[in-house]
Amino acid sequence: MSGVRADRAFFESRAEALARRLLGQRLVRVLEDGTRLAGIIVETEAYLGARDRAAHTFGGRWTARNESMWREGGTAYVYFTYGMHHCMNVVAGRAGDPVAVLIRALEPVEGIEVMEIHRRRKAGEITAPRGGIRGSSRETMTNSRLCSGPARLCQALAIDRSLDGEDMARSSRLFIERVRKRALADRYLVCTPRIGIGYSGEWATRPLRWYIAGNPNVSRT
DNA sequence: ATGACGATTTACT
DNA sequence: GTAAATCGTCATA
């Protein structure tokens, strides 16, 4: 059940390698009251820094938002987008090399009931239709939809900008537990282009997204 | 100061 | 399939 906590060396590699290495490992979020929320990482994308048109650090951009992407491997980069969603990355490589891995989906394993509350609360606040929440959105909140998307998993695990810059190699609030010693073999993985970056020209077609084949928690297939 | 834009999700036709 | 929701961020002025 328990795993070995990922240390600095785990994160200090190329983003593509880290994206694959994270699959099958456990992302853990510990709330203020000690509640553990955790899921197995089943879908990731690599963002390759200054040369990658789809990356927030394309062209070497250094801004207030993306500053944590420039830090050492193992730093969390959490950003806010579309006026309502958070997404989280794990920074790869060494400080000064602004590359990262977007966590796109989890298989929920610990604290599922709390995750459901977080997701429902968020959905209610943001999309409550006239007359309140009823019908499908509440009833179809199955486990497979709980963390199957970068913003959904941030809602479920209560990850927001307050965790941006968190050092996952040391933090007690957000970290990775290695529940398998070796990376999953390529034959268990599917590699495709990344999602939602159509604006990035040639980079939109590069195969930099990986997911565990057949896993029902993956965001899209 | 302002305008355009999202590494998305949800509901609806 | 399409469209709305919703606002921090950044480039331009």
**Do β-strands A207-212 and A189-193 pair in parallel, antiparallel, or remain unpaired?**
antiparallel
Report chain B positions within 7 A of protein CB atoms: 5-12
**Do β-strands A100-110 and A4-5 pair in parallel, antiparallel, or remain unpaired?**
unpaired
Phi-psi region of A19 (alpha: psi -120 to 50; beta: other; left: phi over 0): alpha
Distance A125 CA to C6 C1' (A): 12
pLDDT tens-digit profile of A131-151?
233 333 333 456 779 999 999
Cα angle value A168/A74/A160 (rounded, 5°): 55
pLDDT tens-digit profile of A10-57?
999 999 999 999 999 999 999 999 999 999 999 999 999 999 999 999
- Tell me if residue A136 falls in helix, strand or coil: helix
Residue A95 has pLDDT above 60, yes or no: yes
A34 or A220, higher pLDDT: A34
User: What mean pLDDT do residues A109-137 have?
Assistant: 65
Distance A78 CA to B6 C1' (A): 15
Q: Measured from the CB, is A157 under 7 Å from any atom of strand B?
A: no
d(CA A34, CA A119): 19
Q: What is the pLDDT of residue A127?
A: 37
pLDDT tens-digit profile of A150-175?
999 999 999 999 999 999 999 999 99
Distance A64 CA to B2 C1' (A): 19
User: What mean pLDDT do residues A178-202 have?
Assistant: 96
d(CA A96, CA A199): 25
Specify whether the CB–CB gap between A101 and A110 falls below 8 A: no
Q: Residue A100 belongs to what H/E stretch?
A: strand A100-110
With 0.85 as the threshold, say if the pTM is over it. Answer: yes
d(CA A22, CA A153): 15
Measured CA to C1', what is the nucleotide nearest A194?
A: B7
Measured CA to C1', what is the nucleotide nearest A66?
A: C9
Chain A residues 27 to 46 with C-beta below 7 Å from nucleic strand B: 45
Distance A79 CA to B5 C1' (A): 15
Least confident of A16-25, A100-109, A119-128: A119-128
